[in-house]
Structure 1
Amino acid sequence: MNKLIIVLLFLAVCCSQACTPAHTATASTPSKDPIQQFTEETLLRQPGLLPAQVGICLYDPATATYKYNYQGDKYFIPASNTKLFSLYAGMKYLGDSLMGMRYRVTDTALFIIPAGDPTLLHPAYPDQPAIRFLQKAHRNLYLTPGNWQDRPLGRGWAWDDYNDDYMPERSAFPVYGNLIRWMQDTISGSFFSIPDIDWPVRFSPDSSKQGFSVRRDYHNNVFTITEGKSRVLEQDVPFITDGIASAALLLKDTVGKPVGVRQLVPGSGKDGVVYSRPVDSLFRPMMYNSDNFFAEQTLLMVGNQLLEKMNDARVIDTLLNGELKGLPQRPIWVDGCGLSRNDLFTPQDFVWLLDKMSKEFGLARMEGILPTGGKGTLSNYYKADSGYIYAKTGSLSGVVALSGYLLTKKNHLLLFSILINNYTGSGVAVRRQMEQWIHHIRDTY
C-alpha cells in the first residue's frame, strides 16, 4: 500500500512539471518597431510632452499603408492645419482665376455684386482689374449685399483679439484686407492711414509708452493713437465692416465717385464678371504666411460659387457630405483658418486629405503652394537641405501641428501629420523635437 502511494505521488509530480511551461521556453518579448522606439525617445518622453496629447500618422501612398500610426484616429485641435481643408475647397471649386466681382449694368446704374475676393485693394496686389473696371464706369455705382449669410467673426474666435491684424472681420466685399494701416512719420511726427478714413481718431494722453500703437473701439470705428518713440511705427488694425457699408465708404476715393448701398433691382440688365487674378496667387501666400483672412474668404468664395451662399457652416457641411465624405473620421470643422478651438481633426484625416490633393491636383502644384524648409512659416526650420518637405504648420497656445509631404533620401514619398495639444514649456522646443523626428524618418526611409 505504501509503495502504491509513493508511485502515485511520483506520477503526480511528474505530471505537474510536464504541465507547467518552462521559463526557458517562453517566447521573448517582441522588439519595438524602430519608428515607435525613436518616437518615444525623441518626442513622447520629452518633459514638455509628457502631459501632452500627441497624435502621429505616417503614411506611404505607394503601398496605401501606415508606416506609423500613434493615436492617429484621435481628435486634436489642429490650429492652422485647418487651412489645408480650405485650400482643398478653393482648389476644387474656384477654377483657375478668382472672381473679383459680378455686376449688372442698367440704363442708369452699375450694381456691384460681391464675390468675397480678399485681394481687392489688398496692398500685396498692385494690379486691380475690378477697380479699373469701376473707374471706367460712367454710371452711378451701387454695392449690393450679395449672397452674404454669415457673421463677421468666426465661431469660437477669441473676442479680445479683435484689434489684432491676424483676425480681421470676414465680409462679402472685403477691401484693403479689411485692415487700416496706420503709420507715424518719423521726421514730422504726423500720423496717416492707408486708406484715408473719415472715421474719428483720438490721441492717447499717455506719454509713458515707448511703442507706437493704435487701438480701435470694440463697437465702433473709432481709433485711438498712442505716439511712438520706438523703431516700429506702423500697425494694421481691423475695421468694423458693417456689412458692406464700410467697403462702400472706402471705395469712394479709389474709384473717384460715390458708391451707394442698394439692393439689386429686379429686371433687365447686362450681367458680367470681372476676374481678378490666378487662384494660386492667393493660395500660395495663404499657406506660406498662414493668412487667416485669405483662408476664411476662400471658404466663403467657395460657398458663393457652389451654393450661392456665403456661409461657412453650409459649405463645410456640403463638403463633408460630398467630396470629403471618405475621411477616416468626420471632423468637427467650424471655420476656414483654424483660429477656433472648436475645430477637431485627426492625423489620419490630414494624411487622407494630402493623399487626395496630390492625386487630384498633382504633387508639383502642391509643392508650389506649400512652404518648404527655410520658407514662409518654415523659415526657421528644415533649412540645411530644403526642398524635401512641403508642409503646413499650426500654432495656438498649447498647440503645435505639422502636416505635409516628405521626400526621403531614398526618393520615397511619405505623407505625415503630427498634432500636439496641451504641451508645456517652449513651443520652439517642441518644433525642434518634431524636426528631429522628421529628419530621422527622411534618413531612414
Structure 2
Amino acid sequence: MLRYISIVCCLVASEMFAQDTLKYAVKDTSNEFEYLSVSELQDRITNILNDSNFLTANWGVVIRSLKTGEYLYQKDEDKLFTPASNLKLFTTAAGLSLLGSGYRYVTNIYAEGEINYSVLEGNLIVQGTGDPTISGRFFDGNIYKVFDDWADSLLQLGINKIKGNIIGDDDLFDETGLGEGWSWDYETYWYAAQSGAISFNDNCIDIKIYYDKKLDSVIVKYSPVVKGIVVINDLVPVSPGAGSTDINVYRERGTNIITISGTFSEGSDTLKTYATVLNPTLFAMMVFKDRLEKKGIKVLGYAIDIDDYDKNIDYSKAQYLFSHYSPYLFEIVKVINKGSQNFFAEQLLKTIGLEKKGFGSAENGILACKEWFTQIGLNPDHILMADGSGLSHLNRVTPKQIVLLLRYMYASKNFGAFFSSLPIAGIDGTLSRRMKNTRAENSVRAKTGYLGFVRSLSGYAFTADGEPVAFSLIVNNFNVPVKLAENIQDSICVLLSNFKRKHLE
C-alpha cells in the first residue's frame, strides 16, 4: 500500500489543475448561430455523447428551458450518479435558503475570572460556531489578521496579561472531523481538512519549497510555526537534466508529524503546497496565543482544547468581552463553489445542523437539508448525502434532481447570490481554462465536480436567443483521460450557447 500521495494527485482532486488546452479545449471560432429544431438539437447532443471512448461509461444528462419549462434533452435522468463536487450545489442552495445570504458566523470571546487593572486573573475563552474564514483568504493573504485584531481588542480593554489558559470551546460542533466515506489516504491534503467549530487557515499549514544554490540543498519553510507541528525535510535536489520535481507530502495518522519527501529539480520555481493538521482547535489556540504574546500580551497559561479542560465553563458567570463576525454567507458560498473548497462546504453543512437542529453535525445538517428538499419539491430519497462537499463516494443524486434544484434557485430570492457563486466559463474558478474562445465563455455558469471515475458539470447556460437553460452533465465509470469527458461537456455547453430555435413557417 502506498504511503505517499503525489502532489500531482492532490492538484487533480482540487479541480484546479492546469489543462492542456491545445490538445483538448473546445474551439468555436464561427460567427454563425445554430438554427435548430429541438429534435435536431437532441440529435446533435446524442452524437456528442456517443463517443466511443465512453462505451463502458454512464452518462446522465438533463437540459431544461427555464423559460418554457420544456425538457430539451434527457438521458438516464432518474438514475443515481456519484456527483462529486456537484453536491456543493445542494449544500450552498440549502445554506442560502435556510440561513439567508446575509448570515454571518459569530465567534465570542469571554473572560473566565476577574479582570484586575490590566490582568485577567483566569482564562480567556474562544467560543467557536464554525466560522471557516479565520485565515488570510479575506484579508489580502494575512493569515494572522483576525487574531491580531482580537489582540488589539484586548489591549483596548486594558488587558495585557492573562494568568490562565487560552481555551478553545468547539463543543457546538461534533468531534468528527472527516466526512463519511472519505478515503483514508486523503487525510494529509487540504481538500480533506478536518471540520470543527473552531478553525484557522483552513486547518492547514502553508508549505514553501525552493532550491538554495549557496547551500546546495532544498529548503522547506512552513507557516504558521507553532509547537506540536513537526515538518521533516527528506527532499533530495537533482540537476535539471538528471530528474524532475516529484514531491510527496504525508502527515502521519494521528499526529502532526509531516514528512516531505521526493526530488526537487534545482531549476524549479518555488513550489507552494499545504498539509492538514490534527486537532484544529488546539492548532488555532496555539497560533492565537503566539499572536497575543507578539502583541505584548503575556500569557502565563497554555493553549488548550476545551476537551482537555477539567471543568465545565459557566457562561452565565463568564464575562463577555467582544465578538468577531465573519464575512456574509453570499461571500462564503463563492469560495465553496468557484474554488470547489471542501472544508468550507463541510463547515456550512454542520452550521445548517447547528442553526436548524441545535448541534453542528453532518447528520443534523443533512437532516435539515432533506427537510428543505421536500419543501421545494425534491424527493429526498433520490438524494443520498454523506457529506457537504461531495468528496465521499457514498453520495448519489440524479441529474433531474440537480436541474430541479437549479430551476428552484432560479426563481428564488437567493438566486443572485447562488448564481454569482458559480464558476464562469473561461473566466474564473474551476472553469477558468475551459470553453475559452467560444460563445460559452463568460456566459455559462456551472459547478464542476471531480473524483476518480467521475466528472460532472451542472449549472446555467443561455442560448443565442437569450433563453436561459439549466443543465446537468454527469459521467461515471469512465477509464479514459478526464479531459475527454470535459471535452464532451464543453461541446454540449457550446452547442447550447450557439443554439437558436428554428421556427417552422
TM class by shorter chain equals 0.7 to 0.9
Residue 272 of structure 2 corresponds to 234
Say if 1:97 and 1:275, in contact at 8 Å, map to a contact too.
no
Alignment RMSD (CA, Å) = 2.6
| Alignment partner of 2:496 out of 418, 422, 441 | 441
Residue 163 of structure 1 corresponds to 188
Instruction: Give 1:280 deviation, angstroms.
Output: 2.6
Q: Give matches, 1:94-113, under 5 Å.
A: 94-95=99-100, 96-108=102-114, 109-113=123-127
Alpha-carbon distance in structure 2 between the residues aligned to 1:83 and 1:170: 16
| Alignment partner of 1:244 out of 277, 281, 284 | 281
* Superimposed CA distance per residue, residues 81-104 of structure 1 (whole angstroms, 9 cap, x where no aligned partner): 001111112212444143141344
Say if 2:124 and 2:167, in contact at 8 Å, map to a contact too.
yes
1:330 maps to 2:382: yes
Alpha-carbon distance in structure 2 between the residues aligned to 1:442 and 1:212: 41
Letter paired with 1:264: I
Residue 370 of structure 1 corresponds to 422
Say if 1:55 and 1:347, in contact at 8 Å, map to a contact too.
yes
Alpha-carbon distance in structure 2 between the residues aligned to 1:178 and 1:291: 12
Q: Give matches, 1:87-166, under 5 Å.
A: 87-95=92-100, 96-108=102-114, 109-123=123-137, 125-126=139-140, 128-129=145-146, 131-137=148-154, 138=159, 141-166=166-191
Instruction: Give 1:155 deviation, angstroms.
Output: 0.5
Between 1:220-229 and 1:435-444, the stretch displaced more is 220-229
Cα 1:212–1:343, aligned 2, differ >3 Å: closer, same or farther?
Answer: closer
* Superimposed CA distance per residue, residues 48-103 of structure 1 (whole angstroms, 9 cap, x where no aligned partner): 22211111111122333322222111110000000111111221244414314134
Alpha-carbon distance in structure 1 between the residues aligned to 2:382 and 2:248: 43
* Superimposed CA distance per residue, residues 366-404 of structure 1 (whole angstroms, 9 cap, x where no aligned partner): 332111111211122222232321100111121111110
Alpha-carbon distance in structure 2 between the residues aligned to 1:99 and 1:381: 34
How many corresponding residue pairs?
413
Instruction: Give 1:333 deviation, angstroms.
Output: 0.7
| Alignment partner of 2:332 out of 278, 282, 289 | 282
Residue 30 of structure 2 corresponds to none
Say if 1:56 and 1:347, in contact at 8 Å, map to a contact too.
yes
Structure 1: gaps of 5 or more residues: 1-30
1:307 maps to 2:360: no
Instruction: Give 1:348 deviation, angstroms.
Output: 1.0
Q: Give matches, 1:5-404, under 5 Å.
A: 33-43=39-49, 45-95=50-100, 96-108=102-114, 109-123=123-137, 125-126=139-140, 128-129=145-146, 131-137=148-154, 138=159, 141-184=166-209, 186-187=211-212, 189-198=218-227, 199-204=229-234, 210-226=245-261, 228-229=264-265, 230-241=268-279, 244-256=281-293, 257=299, 258-262=302-306, 263-271=312-320, 273-325=323-375, 326-328=377-379, 330-374=382-426, 375-384=428-437, 385=439, 386-404=441-459
Alpha-carbon distance in structure 1 between the residues aligned to 2:208 and 2:347: 26
Cα 1:418–1:197, aligned 2, differ >3 Å: closer, same or farther?
Answer: same
Cα 1:129–1:194, aligned 2, differ >3 Å: closer, same or farther?
Answer: closer
Q: Give the match's secondary structure for 2:489.
A: helix
Q: Give the match's secondary structure for 2:85.
A: helix
Alpha-carbon distance in structure 2 between the residues aligned to 1:164 and 1:121: 17
Structure 2: gaps of 5 or more residues: 1-36, 115-122, 294-298, 307-311, 501-505
Instruction: Give 1:412 deviation, angstroms.
Output: 0.5
- Higher percent of residues as strand: 2
Alpha-carbon distance in structure 1 between the residues aligned to 2:269 and 2:419: 36
Cα 1:203–1:70, aligned 2, differ >3 Å: closer, same or farther?
Answer: closer
Say if 1:150 and 1:312, in contact at 8 Å, map to a contact too.
no
* Superimposed CA distance per residue, residues 250-308 of structure 1 (whole angstroms, 9 cap, x where no aligned partner): 32212334544444225334556421212232221221111111111111222222223
Letter paired with 1:215: Y
How does the TM-score come out when normalised to structure 2? 0.75
Give the fraction of aligned pairs with identical amino acids, expressed as a percent: 24
